[in-house]
Amino acid sequence: MSKKTLVEATINGETVEFLCEPRQSLLETLRDVLELTGSKEGCLTGDCGACTVLVEGRPVCSCLMLGVEAQGKNITTVEGLATNGVLSVLQNKFLEHAALQCGICTPGFLISAKSLLDRNPKPTEHDVRYALAGNLCRCTGYDKIVKAVLDAAAAIRSQGEGKAAAR
């Protein structure tokens, strides 16, 4: 075993310090060291996207990043989407549209979708399918997931308009 390294990172808005071995992926570190088990392990080869997290706002496969690389980085996992136990609009839309069955792929889809909506509040269906191309689902087919994301985008936009009107 190689010696453990002390890493400091911001995860879901909180500064955390943890010890990890350089051979451990960020995914292993999140799940086994930090007990953030929302991010899932599917393939470990970058193909399925179940392990997707945001690093500095950009989606990456946490199975293809080392835990030690998290040093000084800002990371968002699926655990960071709800606020004080209240699900985000996007999460609720996944439930409403039944955009999941077994749910293994869902954290990855939510993160990829969040990254899209953060960047592009008015995506087309094509934009959504493109942004989700690195996430695989063996259960639902993709239509419900795509509809959930488009509907979430619309809901977030009308919330924004509501707030603007109230001001």
Partner 1 sequence: MHAINYDAPTTLDQAVSILKTHGENARPFCGGTDIIIQLRAGVRRTEHLVDVKKIKELQVLSFDAKKGLRLGAAVPCIEISESDVMRRHYPGLTEAAHLIGSLQIQNRASVGGNLCNGSPAADTTPALIVLGARARIVGPNGEREVPVEAFVVSPGRTVLKPGELLVELLVPAPAPHSSDAYLRFIPRNEMDIAVVGVGAAVTLDGDKVKAARIALAAVGPTPILASKAADAIIGMKLDDAALEAAGRAASAACSPIDDMRGTAEFRLHITAVLTRRVLSIAAERAKKN
Ligand X SMILES: Cc1cc2nc3c(=O)[nH]c(=O)nc-3n(C[C@@H](O)[C@@H](O)[C@H](O)COP(=O)(O)OP(=O)(O)OC[C@H]3O[C@@H](n4cnc5c(N)ncnc54)[C@H](O)[C@@H]3O)c2cc1C
Applying CB under 6 A, which residues contact ligand FES?
41-44, 46-51, 61, 63, 100-105, 137-140
Binders of partner 1 in range 76-105 (CB under 8 A): none
CB 38 within 8 A of CB 25: no
What one-character DSSP code corresponds to residue 102? S
Angle at 104 between CA 87 and CA 15, to 5 degrees: 55
Contacts of 55 (CB under 8 A, 6+ apart): 65, 70, 73, 74, 75
Question: Contact with partner 1 (CB under 8 A): which of 133, 138, 159, 160?
Answer: 133
Query: How far is the C-alpha of 108 from the C-alpha of 48, rounded, in Å?
Result: 9
Q: Please identify, using beta-carbon distances, which residue of 48 and 54 lies nearer to ligand X.
A: 48
Binding site for ligand X (CB under 6 A): 45-47
Binding site for partner 1 (CB under 8 A): 1-2, 5, 21-23, 25, 44-47, 49, 52, 55, 58-61, 63-66, 68-69, 71, 112, 115, 130-131, 133-135
